Amino acid sequence: MKVALVARAAGVDPRRLRYASFEGGGQAMAALLGGHIQVFPGDASEVKGQLEAGGIRLLAVLAPERLPGPFASVPTAREQGVAVEWPIVRVLYMPPAAPDEAYRFWVEAMARLTADSRFVEERVKAGLFAFPSTGDAFTALAIQRVSEMRLLLREIGLVQ
């Protein structure tokens, strides 16, 4: 989906791209390092080690602004004229019939957890960035993103 968004924003028909499917970032990184693929649309946490080791070159970050640390010199796609953002969001889900009390409990628990300095330290060690959205605000964002992705999937011919 990331590649399709970038291609479309750059005026390239995403249906003309050749896609290679991998089980995860590790396999895709091995294929990139082995010269079997030309581009890998990985997540910052997946590529940080290879970036620091000089094993890869980053073309752009799909964030609203430049990322800190080893990514600081990497321009955003938007800086390069491609209006695409792809925030990586780790999510805990609950079934829709979960009691409101349980939902509120977990929203509050996640807010406390993400504010805890020990969590922040572990998140940073893992190469993950803060995404401070929970509860109803995140639900609205998720619904919007799913709608956008469905539209893109139709546009590139992957679903009817």
Q: Give CA–CA dist 51/60, Å, rounded.
A: 13
Can you give the pLDDT at residue 130? 82
Can you give the pLDDT at residue 16? 86
76 by DSSP, 3-state: which? strand
Options 3.90.1150.10, 3.40.1050.10, 3.40.190.10, 3.40.140.10; which CATH number does 1-87 get? Answer: 3.40.190.10
CB 56 within 8 A of CB 32: yes
Closest CA to 135 of 97, 112, 106, 98: 106
Mean pLDDT by 10 residues, the chain (160 residues): 85 84 89 92 88 93 89 94 83 90 92 92 82 84 87 78
Residue 47, classified by CB atoms within 10 Å of its CB into exposed (0-12), middle (13-18) or buried (19+), is buried
Can you give the pLDDT at residue 116? 94
Residue-range domain boundaries for the chain: 1-87, 89-160
Name 76's bridge partners. Answer: 61
Can you give the pLDDT at residue 75? 97
Residue in this structure with the two tokens 């249906």, named with its chain if needed:
15
Q: Give CA–CA dist 141/136, Å, rounded.
A: 9
pTM > 0.85: yes or no: no
